[in-house]
Amino acid sequence: MANVRYHLPMHIGMIGLGRMGGNMAQRLARHGIDVTGYSRPPIPVLPDEPRIRIVATLDELIRALPAPRIVWLMVPAGEATEENVEALATRLASGDLVIDGGNAFYRDSQRRAQQLAARGIGFLDAGVSGGVWGLTEGYGMMVGGERAHFERILPLVRALAPAPDRGWVYCGPVGAGHYTKMVHNGIEYGLMQAYAEGFALLAARKDLALPLGEIAEAWRHGTVIRSWLLDLTAGVLREPAALARVGARIADSGEGRWTAREAIDLGVPAPVISAALMTRFASQGADDFGARLLALVRNAFGGHPLPPATAPDPKARPPDR
């Protein structure tokens, strides 16, 4: 990773130090940005980094930040985001700024922006892509909100992105960032499903004894279907024994549902994304090659837990991102 510094002293708060938030805090610190982090217990242990300080309470985080404050949320969409926005609304001051980098539904982001604006607090919705690889490779950033707020955090965006001049986009008003990330994740569903189905067809011809790992590796170079997701798929297929150790259940984290519903509401055909979503539903209780491959690829890019032998409790609260 290039050690690019922006010569602008910044100090932000990061709420949520899980797979995404913890790595983002480290990447920001390595670019000369001070980060005060807070996460609900158990607090993750991050590598020693002099520019990162972890505090035990939200109030302590607020006190540690210089005014006007910038607080970045990296917690799961839904209840966790709602709780944190409500807590920040009562603790921050006019002129402060909240960034939600989770996979929130864009209409919820628009509502939260109005809630904070009534107190003079700014809000940006930031779609963040990159998974567990973002620390070294950088994150794709899709940001919505007032342009002035976006300009204020541009050094943060450039530090997190793969390069200062690429991999990020200002999408438009509040909601535009999370809407763009929603569609991005819907496309991701379709791409992954296509790879899984293709390799399932190859695997089904036992009589041909097709070398799946070698085929995936060959497809990575020069073909029209090469992509980072294919790179990860090839990595998974280098260890075919792993397929036998994982359950054939693919989690549905919400973004695919939102994308499919949006397509219905707008009357825009999205059959591939919708079919990929339905396949994830159908995978519950199934035991096929494609589902196991999808589960392993999700784990490879996002660190998503591999499906256990028994179905998880649907009411269990997910960890911080």
Please check whether residues 36 and 164 belong to one and the same domain: yes
Q: Is residue 87 part of a domain?
A: yes
pLDDT in tens, 298-311: 777 766 666 654 44
Please check whether residues 132 and 213 belong to one and the same domain: no
Mean pLDDT of the region 210-231: 96
Distance set, CA 177 to CA 51, 101, 243, 267 (Å): 28, 9, 35, 21
Window from 58-67, 182-191, 236-245 with minimum mean pLDDT: 236-245
pLDDT band at 284 (very low <50, low <70, confident <90, very high): low
For 99, the 3-state DSSP assignment is strand
Q: Is residue 69 part of a domain?
A: yes
Q: Which domain holds residue 275?
A: 181-302
CA–CA gap between residue 112 and residue 98 (Å, rounded): 10
Peptide bond before residue 42 is cis, with ω within 30 degrees of 0: yes
Return the pLDDT at 227: 94
| Domain count for the chain | 2
72 and 25 in contact (C-beta within 8 Å)? no
Q: Is residue 17 part of a domain?
A: yes
Q: Is residue 310 part of a domain?
A: no
Please check whether residues 110 and 232 belong to one and the same domain: no
Q: Which amino acid, residue 76?
A: P
The mean of the pLDDT values for the chain is 88
Mean pLDDT of the region 77-101: 97
Last residue of some domain: 155, 172, 189?
172
Structure tokens at 134: 């973002």
Please check whether residues 66 and 143 belong to one and the same domain: yes
CA–CA gap between residue 60 and residue 283 (Å, rounded): 44
**Residue of 188, 197, 255, 262 with catalytic role:** 188
**Residue of 181, 197, 255, 262 with catalytic role:** 181
Which one, of 174, 312, 181, 200, lies nearest residue 259 by Cα? 181
Mean pLDDT of the region 39-51: 83
Which one, of 32, 35, 34, lies nearest residue 6 by Cα? 32
Q: Compute how many other C-beta atoms are within 10 angstroms of the C-beta atom of residue 216.
A: 22
Instruction: Give the DSSP letter of residue 16.
Output: -
Please check whether residues 141 and 22 belong to one and the same domain: yes
74 and 321 in contact (C-beta within 8 Å)? yes
63 and 240 in contact (C-beta within 8 Å)? no
CA–CA gap between residue 26 and residue 290 (Å, rounded): 35
Residue of 101 and 295 predicted with greater confidence: 101
pLDDT in tens, 107-124: 999 999 999 999 999 999
Q: In this structure, what CATH number is given to the domain that contains residue 32?
A: 3.40.50.720
Please check whether residues 80 and 209 belong to one and the same domain: no
Structure tokens at 225: 């279907």
Please check whether residues 116 and 226 belong to one and the same domain: no
**What's the whole-model pTM score?**
0.85
Rg of the chain's alpha carbons, rounded to an integer? 20
pLDDT over threshold 70, residue 276: yes
| pLDDT above 70 as % of the chain | 86
* Residue 263: φ, ψ to 5°: -60, -40
Window from 171-180, 263-272, 308-317 with minimum mean pLDDT: 308-317
Please check whether residues 25 and 162 belong to one and the same domain: yes
pLDDT in tens, 30-41: 999 999 999 988
Please check whether residues 115 and 234 belong to one and the same domain: no
Q: Is residue 308 part of a domain?
A: no
pLDDT over threshold 80, residue 1: no
Please check whether residues 102 and 189 belong to one and the same domain: no
- Mark whether 181 is an active-site residue: yes
pLDDT in tens, 119-178: 999 999 999 999 888 999 999 999 999 999 999 999 999 999 999 999 999 999 999 999
Please check whether residues 75 and 156 belong to one and the same domain: yes
Return the pLDDT at 298: 76
Q: In this structure, what CATH number is given to the domain that contains residue 222?
A: 1.10.1040.10
pLDDT over threshold 60, residue 315: no
Q: Is residue 6 part of a domain?
A: no
Give every strand in the sheet of 140-145, ordered side by side: 52-54, 34-38, 11-15, 70-73, 97-100, 122-129, 140-145, 168-172
Mean pLDDT of the region 224-239: 92
69 and 97 in contact (C-beta within 8 Å)? yes
Please check whether residues 31 and 75 belong to one and the same domain: yes
CA–CA gap between residue 2 and residue 29 (Å, rounded): 13
Give the list of residues 6+ apart from residue 299 with CB closer than 8 angstroms, or none: 305, 306
| pLDDT above 90 as % of the chain | 71
pLDDT over threshold 60, residue 286: no
